[in-house]
A and B are shown apart, each in its own frame.
Chain A
């Protein structure tokens, strides 16, 4: 038998083929099986509801994952997006059906922000609907695709319809913007994207989540950009008729900061400011941000865009947090 690769094609191509099969088992199939056998869903996580699962299907078929990662790396640069991702975060993912494989959500590009924990940063369904309909209505410089075709325009919406309060500049003529089932499912999925704590991990409470390094004023600006600017605008101008401006707002500029602090801590809904009534609820931040972080972001709001109100300390925040919601009014 000729054992020369140069002359024996069976030997050459056999080695090439079976050699690669062995390498594939070592580097891909073996590790994949190991990962599969060693990871369970995190204790406090839950399976997606039926609606959220439909939303995930839309997320995949619309290719959201090409611009949005769901993978927080253990690096400072990723800290605004949540705690580092763990294998357990993905353990519930499985092939979608007979035709389609397990969704690959980690992503390779971050043209838009990471979504692993997006529901903690942006829990307002209303904001998400407006943003899906026309991203630039709430984020001026966004380059995201507008998903207007996931909405209908209705002259007289029914009582069960979700009417999206699109700001006047972006509202289509001749009716109200109403979410279709697709939009509802997708938003339901996005609002399910909330990281659960890793059992036994210290990062759950000890680390400031929105801040990172830098001075207090830098921290305030950073938290504002990642958690507040979506609705209230990068320059505090709000979103007309939907989310109130903070620039010149009577509570934000009041010498007594207690109502400002209480609003950030406990949220607010159905408020009328300067004659405009705002129907959309503001989420509570008491479990999302520490006292120091809340003080930093409040100070940022009280001293930016022409606002000039006295600063607060984390002790002020701590006091109102202890008094609770009732005590603050």
Chain B
């Protein structure tokens, strides 16, 4: 159908994979659909919380209180949206690159149920004022997080067996990252929840380790591993350098593990621990440059393919945000800059640049690249475009308003002005944040609709 497209390049259609396994397709779609529901729910919470800064008296029921819903927002987008969204793609990539069927589909269905129950129960408990009492991402009480970890164990077992029974001798680089993410996250969660070494300030030592690596040893390696599959696949060419991927992998594991304490610079935790964290934060440039460079060099020369694809632009943006946001994290660790930015809204900008600009964009790219191939159902290209631009413009407004606002907030404190001045300074930036956040929320509604449009059931109906 000829359409007048004044604003965008015409996008290429995606062909269905002929020999795909319908059972696996249903499983992957179920994960992706649940992820998209959690994304919509989590961002409604986020939008509500953002509006609260402009209208603090809006919603006085205890269930709607800011302090209860903030952890609900962060945990839903962490464990509900991004985790399920990544696992959906991993359930395809690991069997595909091992040239084996998924070892046990039923276990993966059980895991999906357990993760949904865990996130749902965690949110209901938080809204009722039952919080574990930790700081970020450790608010689910241990029985709830325990269920999540058991689900991860089942998935790890299934995926490990799939790799173990692979036909080709080589373990593809994606499976290094993806399997490592599962193994690391299990260690991480168990370490974070055992109580014996967490009395007094020791809780904070573990919190630095945990909140940092919850992002950097779960989401980061997983989406990087997925990108090592989807980017060359969608571009139809090999990755620029396999060795760079291996170098980035080992340096990520060693350097990233050591830098959690940089979330508590100038705190009373041991000074040497903070210094080690700051030094290795600089070391993070090695995996960062190796990873980003590898992806960008793979893309070089394929600009036309990227422009004609509706999934690759998401991956491109995700890679750029990976570089910007991780680099930003290193700078925030320096004592001179930490002095200005710590405790300010700059931190909130940073966490959204990473979890949204980087992690979420890569998940979207993979989802749009994979689902139509599995089901033969494409989303309407224009709606994918609207999703892309709303999300991108939204995160840019969100990120820049809080980076600038956070810097002004920090400068305001240093100037010695009365504390309430720093609240007033932020009010216009909070308004911009809510505007950016609204665009992001709209884009998620469209994404959820697009996922629905790519669903296998819809395909079955059309066939019938």
**Contact, CB under 8 Å: B268 / A87:** yes
Whether a CB of chain B sits under 8 angstroms from the CB of A325 is: no
Nearest CB in chain B to that of A134: its residue: B57
Q: What are the interface flags for A12-43 relative to B under an 8 Å C-beta threshold, 1 for contact and 0 otherwise? A: 11001101110110111101111110010000
Asked whether A260 is an interface residue with its Cβ less than 8 Å from the other chain, the reply is no
A-B contact count (CB 8 A): 264
Distance (whole angstroms) from the CB of A234 to the closest CB of chain B:
7
> Is A104 in contact with B135, judged by CB distance below 8 angstroms?
yes
Known: A62-B68, A66-B70, A100-B133. A74 touches B266 (CB 8 A): yes
Given A32-B205, A145-B56, residue A139 in contact with residue B70 (CB < 8 A): no
Which residues, 139 to 198 on B, are CB-close (under 8 Å) to A? 141-143, 160, 163-164, 166, 169-171, 176, 179-180, 183-184, 187-188, 191, 193, 195, 197-198
Interface stretch, picked from A106-114, A286-294, A307-315, is A106-114
Interface presence of A149 (CB below 8 A) = yes
Q: Is B380 an interface residue (CB 8 A)?
A: no
Q: Given contacts A20-B187, A36-B197, A136-B56, are A64 and B418 in contact (CB under 8 A)?
A: no
Contact (Cβ within 8 A) B267 A106? yes
- A96 contacts which chain B residues (CB < 8 A)? 133
Q: Does B129 contact A (CB under 8 A)?
A: yes
Q: Mark A71-113, 1 if CB is under 8 A from B, else 0.
A: 1011111001000111101111111100111111011111111
Q: In the assembly, what is the distance between CA of A80 and CA of B414, in Å? A: 11
Say whether A32 contacts B420, CB under 8 Å: no
Q: Is A1 an interface position by the 8 A CB rule?
A: no
* Interface hub of B53, B193, B268, B270 (most chain A Cβ within 10 A): B268
**Distance A168 CA – B197 CA, assembled complex (angstroms):** 51
Contact residues, A98-132 vs B (CB, 8 A)? 99-104, 106-113
Whether B419 lies near A80 (C-beta < 8 A) is yes
Q: Which residues of B contact A63 (CB under 8 A)?
A: 65-68, 70-71, 131
Residues of the A chain whose Cβ atoms lie less than 8 Å from the Cβ of B142: 99, 101
Name A34's closest neighbour in chain B (CB-CB). Answer: B270
Query: Which residues from chain A contact B261 at a C-beta distance below 8 Å?
Result: 27
Q: How distant is the Cα of A69 from the Cα of B68 in the complex, in angstroms?
A: 17
How many angstroms between the C-alpha atoms of A172 and B150 in the bound complex? Answer: 50
Q: In whole angstroms, how far apart are the Cα atoms of A110 and B134 in the complex?
A: 17
Interchain CA distance A73-B340 in the complex, whole Å: 12
Which chain A residues lie closer than 8 Å to B176 at the CB level? 12, 16
Is B407 located at the chain interface by the 8 A CB criterion?
no
Nearest A residue (CB) for B256: A23
For B458, the chain A residues whose CB sits under 8 A away are none
B382 within 8 Å of A (CB atoms): no
Residues of chain A contacted by B105 (CB below 8 angstroms): none
Closest Cβ of chain A to B13, distance in Å, is 36
**Residues B67 and A24 in contact, CB atoms below 8 Å apart:** no
- Pair B132/A62 contact, Cβ less than 8 Å: no
B203 CB contacts on chain A under 8 angstroms: 90, 93, 101-104
Q: Is B273 an interface residue (CB 8 A)?
A: yes
B124 at the interface (CB under 8 A from A): no
Contact A6–B131 (Cβ < 8 Å): no
Of the four ranges (under 10, 10 to 19, 20 to 34, 35 or more), the interface on chain A belongs to 35 or more
The reply to whether A69 and B205 contact each other, CB–CB distance below 8 Å, is no
Q: Which of B78-86, B231-239, B303-311, B341-349 touches A?
A: B341-349
Interface hits, B322-349 → A, CB 8 Å: 339, 342-345, 347-348
CB within 8 Å of B: which of A121-156? 134-136, 139, 141-149
Q: Determine which residue in B142, B193, B201, B342 has the highest number of CB atoms from chain A within 10 A of its CB, and name it.
A: B201
A24 and B343 form a contact (CB under 8 A): no
**Are A66 and B60 in contact, with the CB atoms below 8 A?**
no
Cβ of B204 under 8 Å from chain A: yes
Q: Assess whether B264 is in contact with A106, with CB atoms less than 8 Å apart.
A: yes
Q: Do A85 and B267 touch across chains, with their CB atoms under 8 A apart?
A: yes
Tell me if B273 and A31 are in contact (CB < 8 A): yes
**What chain B residues lie within 8 Å of A145 (beta carbons)?**
52, 56, 65-67
- Across-interface contacts of B269 in A (CB, < 8 A): 31, 35, 87
Chain A minimum-CB-distance residue to B144: A99
Q: Is the CB of B200 within 8 A of A92?
A: yes
Asked if A100 and B132 sit within 8 Å, CB to CB, the answer is yes
Residue of A nearest to B265 (CB): A73
In contact, B202 and A24 (Cβ under 8 angstroms): no
Q: Whole-angstrom distance from the CB of A65 to the nearest CB of chain B?
A: 7
Kindly report which residue of chain A lies nearest to residue B67, judged by CB atoms: A63
Of listed B130, B131, B179, residue having the most chain A CB within 10 A: B131
DSSP majority for the B interface? helix
Please indicate the chain B residues that have their CB under 8 angstroms from the CB of A26 in the complex. Answer: 258
Do residues B339 and A13 form an inter-chain contact, with CB atoms below 8 A? no
Q: What 1/0 mask marks residues of chain B from 1 to 26 whose CB sits below 8 Å from any chain A CB?
A: 00000000000000000000000000
Other-chain residue from A12, A13, A35, A92 in contact with B202 (beta carbon distance below 8 A): A35
Contact residue among B56, B164, B418 (Cβ-Cβ distance under 8 Å from A142): B56
Expressed in whole angstroms, the Cα–Cα distance for A28 and B202 within the complex equals: 9
Query: What is the bound-complex CA distance between A80 and B413, given in angstroms?
Result: 10
| A61-B268 in contact given A143-B423, A145-B66 (Cβ < 8 Å) | no
Beta-carbon contact of A73 and B129 below 8 Å: no
Contact between chains at A20 and B257 (CB < 8 Å) = yes
Contact in complex: B133, A222 (CB < 8 Å): no
- State the CA gap A111–B433 with chains docked (Å): 15
**Cβ contacts under 8 Å, A95 to chain B:** 195, 198-199
How far does the Cβ of A208 sit from chain B's closest Cβ, in whole Å? 13
A94 CB → nearest B CB, Å = 5
B67's partner among A13, A66, A86 (CB-CB below 8 A) is A66
Given A32-B206, A143-B423, A146-B56, A110 contacting B343 (CB threshold 8 A): yes
Please state if A234 and B418 are interface contacts (CB–CB under 8 Å): yes
The answer to whether B136 and A108 have CB atoms under 8 Å apart is: yes
Instruction: Name the residue on B nearest A148 (C-beta).
Output: B60
Of A9, A27, A91, A212, which contacts B164 at CB under 8 A? A9
B105-130 CB mask vs A (1 if < 8 Å, else 0) is 00000000000000000000000011
> CB-CB < 8 A to A71: which residues of B?
267-268
Pick the contact of B171: A7, A58, A113 (CB < 8 A).
A7
A214 within 8 A of B: yes
B187 and A21 contact, CB distance less than 8 A: yes
By a CB distance below 8 angstroms, the chain B residues around A102 are: 133-134, 195, 198-200, 202-203
> Closest Cβ of chain A: how far from B423's Cβ, in Å?
6
Let me know if A218 is at the binding interface, CB within 8 A.
Answer: yes
* Pairs across A and B, CB under 8 Å, 29 listed: A9-B171, A16-B253, A17-B183, A28-B209, A32-B202, A35-B200, A36-B199, A39-B201, A58-B129, A60-B131, A61-B68, A63-B66, A63-B68, A63-B70, A65-B135, A66-B70, A67-B67, A71-B267, A85-B268, A95-B199, A99-B132, A101-B193, A104-B135, A106-B267, A109-B344, A112-B419, A112-B423, A136-B57, A221-B418
The 8 closest A-B pairs by CB, nearest first: A63-B67, A225-B418, A110-B343, A73-B266, A28-B209, A61-B129, A32-B202, A102-B203
Question: Could you list 14 further interchain pairs (A-B, Cβ under 8 angstroms) beyond the known A63-B65, A94-B200?
Answer: A16-B253, A17-B183, A24-B191, A27-B257, A35-B200, A61-B68, A77-B416, A101-B193, A102-B133, A102-B199, A109-B343, A109-B347, A136-B57, A147-B65
